[in-house]
């Protein structure tokens, strides 16, 4: 008898991935790292934001941007890193068209922040990513590849970006999966935005993620050959590119191939990595101290001043929302992930301290969040249009007191955001009042049932039609019916009173028997 075939172990079972992430992040400053040229060059004419310093002309001397330094110090504090008493600048030498001086002013062995950490949540649980360093350097120019009128390939250089302050954050090789890499990048972006040091927009190139990936047979200690992956322009691309590279290396090792230390690009359309060039080691850059800049001394009082200016960090805020306010981990995560939602949530809580946190959460994530995405008008505080936190709190009170239906509340919100009128005046002008009388609603429910026999048949056949019927009653009452009571009355008529106790109306007016967490 032939023994059953044993399925081959997957790449993740045969090999352990060793992943390190490098993030280059443009800092939010008004001027460049070592000169006074403006960083507001988006949309500007090429090479219009330049000077002898950022063009690397002979005799031009750099001057340190204090705000950029404080951005790295703030990041270091936020990730629990240490800052040396004195740090220095180094020249990183390499020759490429986008580097006008032939070297980059950076930091090597004395970074502004070192030995930090960042906790992340993944599908397999929480994980702590060790962060080796966060240092400051200047960005390169931008290469633009294309063809001329004769069809010849050409490369152009725009030096507007050259010299912009750039923070590089390098993890320890402690990441083991593509998902961990993605979650780390997402959490780091949120942290940078929360503390205000960068917009960290990947689509605009303000945050660039690179991954160093190698494999080793499980149970062994030595690292394998490291491959760097670039050109990942979204968090989804980060996860896909690393997952592909792990599988590619596993197939190559199984075939007995010898991997080379390459820099590879990511083709998001084809879903593959490709060789760009051979990968350098640090000694190839011939680092040496920058002779035109003195060592930078960081006084303890400076560190404390930066620390005092930091807002509540994302992890601490999520914990407070769950531990003190009773929000679910999911709700807390959704709010904290969007700084504008945090502003709205906190402002409404201040304006209406008696309002249940869950009611504010549902509103901020739902109706307010949708309005926020659709609006291009925002105040510096993040509230859309001319929204006022006190008015939003008044709106929630009226809904909570059964004075206003949620359907009508959405209409009031839209008008408030567009015109700035008070909630009270809008409600009065429109004649809104929530109908919660069983008799009045019973007549509307009966009329809708009489007009929709097919929906009744669908419901009794187990097909979802209750939401449709609720919507018809809401339409018939101009959105003023109490949607929860409408759902109850419909179920009483369709299924009998016994079924009502098991169903809870959704805030959108759709009955969901398995939903009991809404307030």
**Same structural domain, 337 and 196:** no
Residue 6 has pLDDT above 60, yes or no: no
Residue 388 lies in a domain: yes
The pLDDT tens digits of the residues spanning 165-180 come to: 999 999 999 999 999 9
Span 274-302, average pLDDT: 88
The pLDDT tens digits of the residues spanning 356-374 come to: 999 999 999 999 998 888 7
Structure confidence at residue 38 (pLDDT): 97
Residue 399 has pLDDT above 80, yes or no: yes
Residue 327 lies in a domain: yes
Residue 355 has pLDDT above 90, yes or no: yes
Pairwise CA distance, residues 264 & 220, whole Å: 26
Residue 255 has pLDDT above 60, yes or no: yes
- If you write DSSP's letter for every residue of 496-514 in order, what string do you get? -HHHHTT-EE-TTS-EETT
**Same structural domain, 285 and 363:** no
Structure confidence at residue 197 (pLDDT): 97
**Same structural domain, 84 and 211:** yes
Can you tell me which residue has the tokens 């929530």?
A: 434
Residue 505 has pLDDT above 50, yes or no: no
Which residues 6+ apart lie within 8 Å of 323 measured at CB? none
In angstroms, how far is CA 352 from the centroid of its own chain? 28
**Same structural domain, 83 and 218:** yes
Give me the chain's average pLDDT, please: 87
Q: Decide which of 430, 447, 469 is a domain's last residue.
A: 430
In angstroms, how far is CA 485 from the centroid of its own chain? 38
Structure confidence at residue 518 (pLDDT): 36
Residue 95 lies in a domain: yes
Residue 255 lies in a domain: yes
**Same structural domain, 127 and 254:** yes
Residue 305 lies in a domain: no
Structure confidence at residue 266 (pLDDT): 96
In angstroms, how far is CA 81 from the centroid of its own chain? 22
Span 91-117, average pLDDT: 93
In angstroms, how far is CA 252 from the centroid of its own chain? 34
pLDDT confidence bin for 467, thresholds 50/70/90:
confident
Residue 186 lies in a domain: yes
**Same structural domain, 393 and 280:** no
Total structural domains within the chain:
3
Domain interval for residue 232:
11-146+153-297
- Higher per-residue confidence, 136 vs 478: 136
Q: What angle do CA 425, 429, 435 make, to 5 degrees?
A: 100
Q: Decide which of 253, 273, 297 is a domain's last residue.
A: 297
Residue 293 has pLDDT above 50, yes or no: yes
Pairwise CA distance, residues 62 & 106, whole Å: 12
pTM: 0.81
**Same structural domain, 37 and 141:** yes
Q: To the nearest whole percent, how much of the chain has pLDDT over 90?
A: 64
Tell me the three state secondary structure of residue 77.
helix
**Same structural domain, 407 and 364:** yes
Residue 396 lies in a domain: yes
**Same structural domain, 283 and 324:** no
Residues linked to residue 153 through DSSP beta bridges, in sequence order: 147
| CATH number of domain containing 492 | 1.10.10.410
Structure confidence at residue 10 (pLDDT): 67
**Same structural domain, 317 and 192:** no
Q: Decide which of 398, 430, 462 is a domain's last residue.
A: 430
Pairwise CA distance, residues 180 & 380, whole Å: 34
**Same structural domain, 35 and 124:** yes
Span 288-308, average pLDDT: 95
Residue 6 lies in a domain: no
**Same structural domain, 219 and 362:** no
Residue 189 has pLDDT above 90, yes or no: yes
């Amino acid at each position: 008898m032939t023994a059953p075939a044993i399925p081959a172990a997957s790449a993740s079972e045969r090999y352990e991935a060793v992943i390190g992430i490098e993030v280059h992040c443009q800092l939010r400053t008004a001027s460049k790292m070592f000169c006074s040229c403006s960083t507001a060059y988006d949309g500007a004419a090429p090479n219009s934001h330049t000077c002898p310093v950022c063009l690397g002309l002979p005799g031009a001397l750099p001057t340190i941007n204090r705000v950029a330094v404080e951005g790295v110090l703030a990041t270091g504090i936020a990730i629990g890193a240490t800052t040396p008493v004195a740090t220095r600048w180094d020249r990183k030498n390499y020759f490429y068209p986008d580097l006008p001086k032939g070297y980059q002013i950076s930091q090597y062995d004395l970074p502004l922040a070192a030995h930090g950490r960042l906790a992340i949540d993944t599908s397999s649980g929480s994980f702590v990513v060790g962060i080796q360093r966060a240092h400051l350097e200047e960005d390169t120019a931008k290469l633009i590849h294309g063809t001329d009128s004769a069809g010849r390939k050409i490369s152009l250089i725009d030096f507007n970006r050259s010299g912009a302050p750039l923070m590089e954050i390098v993890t320890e090789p402690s990441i083991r999966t593509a998902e961990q890499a993605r979650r780390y990048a997402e959490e780091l972006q949120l942290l940078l935005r929360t503390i205000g040091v960068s917009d960290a927009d990947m689509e605009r190139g303000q945050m660039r993620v690179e991954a160093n990936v190698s494999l080793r047979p499980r149970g062994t200690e030595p690292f394998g050959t490291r491959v760097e992956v670039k050109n990942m322009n979204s968090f989804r691309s980060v996860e896909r590119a690393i997952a592909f590279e792990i599988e590619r290396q596993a197939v190559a090792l199984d075939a007995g191939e010898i991997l080379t230390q390459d820099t590879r690009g990511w083709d998001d359309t084809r879903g593959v990595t490709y060789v760009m060039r051979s990968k350098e080691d640090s000694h190839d850059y011939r680092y040496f101290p920058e002779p035109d800049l003195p060592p930078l001394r960081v006084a303890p009082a400076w560190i404390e001043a930066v620390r005092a200016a930091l807002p509540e960090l994302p992890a601490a805020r999520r914990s407070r929302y769950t531990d003190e306010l009773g929000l679910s981990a999911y709700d807390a995560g959704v709010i904290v992930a969007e700084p504008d939602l945090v502003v709205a949530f906190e402002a409404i809580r201040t304006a209406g301290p008696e309002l249940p946190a869950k009611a504010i959460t549902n509103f901020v994530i739902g109706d307010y969040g949708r309005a926020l995405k659709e609006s291009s008008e925002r105040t510096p505080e993040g509230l859309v249009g001319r929204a006022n936190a006190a008015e939003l709190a008044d709106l929630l009170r009226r809904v909570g007191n059964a004075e206003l239906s949620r359907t009508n509340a959405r209409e009031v919100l839209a008008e408030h955001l567009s015109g700035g009128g008070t909630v009270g005046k809008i409600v009065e002008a429109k004649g809104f009042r929530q109908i919660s009388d069983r008799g009045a609603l019973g007549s509307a429910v009966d009329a809708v049932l009489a007009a929709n026999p097919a929906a009744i048949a669908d419901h009794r056949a187990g097909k979802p039609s209750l939401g449709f019927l609720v919507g018809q009653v809401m339409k018939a009452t101009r959105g003023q019916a109490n949607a929860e009571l409408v759902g109850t009355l419909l179920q009483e008529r369709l299924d009998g009173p016994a079924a009502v106790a098991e169903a809870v109306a959704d805030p959108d007016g759709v009955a969901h028997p398995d939903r009991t967490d809404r307030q």
